[in-house]
Amino acid sequence: MVPACAVCAGSPLILGPLAGLSVTVIVASYAVHMTLIVLAPLNLFFLWRGYRIHRHRLGLWVGGAGVLFISSHMIGHFGVFNWLVGDMEPFSIDPSTAFPSRWVLAHMPIWAGSVLLGVSNFFDIRARWISRSQIADCRTPDEYWFKVLTGIHPGLRESRWVLSVIPSPPRCKLCSAPFAGPGGPLMRWIGRAQSVKNPQFCTTCLSRAPIGGAEVNVSLLFADVRGSTELAEKATPADFSRLMRRFYEMATKVLTEQDALIDKFVGDEVVALFLPAFAGPDHSAAAIEAAKRLLAAAGYSRGEYPWLSIGIGVHTGVAYVGLLGVEGGVTDLTALGDTVNVAKSLSSSASAGELAVSREALVAAHIDPEEAGCKRLQIKGRTMPVEAALLRVGAERDSAVFLR
């Protein structure tokens, strides 16, 4: 049997649980020891996830150094260090102290790497604790919501990342906890059941989130079914509802893949918010990409007759976003302001198969407004015209492309 080195037989393995908190456990096994080459980078991955929450780099840097040390030790099992000291026997590291250089080359990295990973987890936990303390110190609902919507809130984006992979919809609008499918009973067990007061939220989010909001930079997407009145007139109510349900399912799939927060379904229209906390700093680009994919999913890019006529508007600007409503009554996570009205008006200006994107959204997405064909649109109800580009999806390609 190939001997395991004395250090590795009891070396600490670093595991990052789904909650994001890494803990060190001691596992004395040669077989498990050989999986360090996988488990150490896995710990580094969870440190990176923690960094995305609290933005403190020290733990990530220290953890990266620890992984490098552990990796160098694991490479030694393939005879690299033995070759350096003149012993060609592969897959063994002699723990003999007769050759100090061998001990330094082969044994020191696993000790140093384990210590560094342990220290990195300490830094990560400390950074998480500081971030959560900052949230606890929020004195007003506006301050709370500003941190939530801009991504400063620790754990919210992380919980959405974890809970979104558990099936199945419908989900909490804030944390993405599933209410149905295999994940439903689990969420009820951990206290994230669907709220009776507002079925769009889980009980945990609704009880912790205060009524209020904050002014944040946000991208909005309005997708409207064209000719829905005529469709409803010609079809039976059951057939029309099936068509709308197909539209809702398509929009939900496309928008959630782009990290959008679906605001509401209103009749033949879907409204989505692209917030920095969920869609990242490039939320305007995500909104435009989601619009392109929506048009493609409706059949505008396959060279065939689309199964649904939709027009889409995208706008980026400052809006008041938060949990709005009456304390103890009906509440909803939504957006208010002129930015919302402009996005809705752009959607009305777009014809079937068209995407109306404002100059602000194009600039934020690093798209040249002039090349996109930006022009002034006079929108009903507004005294000042809105600069926007009317873009279409090319039908001659398999993927959605912009045409002027």
Choice among 114-128, 179-193, 386-400 with the minimum mean pLDDT: 386-400
CATH superfamily, region 211-403: Nucleotide cyclase, GGDEF domain (3.30.70.1230)
Query: Does 95 score more than 60 pLDDT?
Result: no
Q: How far is CA 250 from the centre of its chain?
A: 19
What are the residues whose beta carbons fall under 8 Å from the beta carbon of 207, sequence distance 6 or more? none
Q: Note every long-range contact of 57-61, with CB atoms under 8 Å and residues 24 or more positions apart, other chains counting.
A: 58/123, 58/127, 59/120, 59/121, 59/122, 59/123, 59/124, 59/127, 60/120, 60/124, 61/120
Across residues 334-359, what is the average pLDDT? 91
Query: Does 365 score more than 60 pLDDT?
Result: yes
Between 333 and 394, the more confident residue is 333
Query: Does 294 score more than 90 pLDDT?
Result: yes
What's the confidence (pLDDT) of residue 310? Answer: 92
Query: Does 86 score more than 90 pLDDT?
Result: no
Across residues 158-167, what is the average pLDDT? 77
And the tokens for 137?
């110190």
What's the confidence (pLDDT) of residue 4? Answer: 30
pTM to 2 decimals?
0.65
The percentage of the chain sitting over the pLDDT mark of 90, rounded to a whole number, equals 21
What does the buried/exposed string (b/e) look like for 132-171 if buried means 16 or more CB atoms within 10 Å of the residue's CB? eeebeebeebbebbbbbbebbbbbbbbbbbbbeebeeeeb
Between 23 and 130, the more confident residue is 130
Band of residue 64 on the pLDDT scale cut at 50, 70, 90? confident
Band of residue 271 on the pLDDT scale cut at 50, 70, 90? very high
Across residues 214-219, what is the average pLDDT? 94
Across residues 39-55, what is the average pLDDT? 77
The domain segmentation of the chain, as residue ranges, is: 8-134, 141-207, 211-403
Between 19 and 247, the more confident residue is 247
What's the confidence (pLDDT) of residue 207? Answer: 74
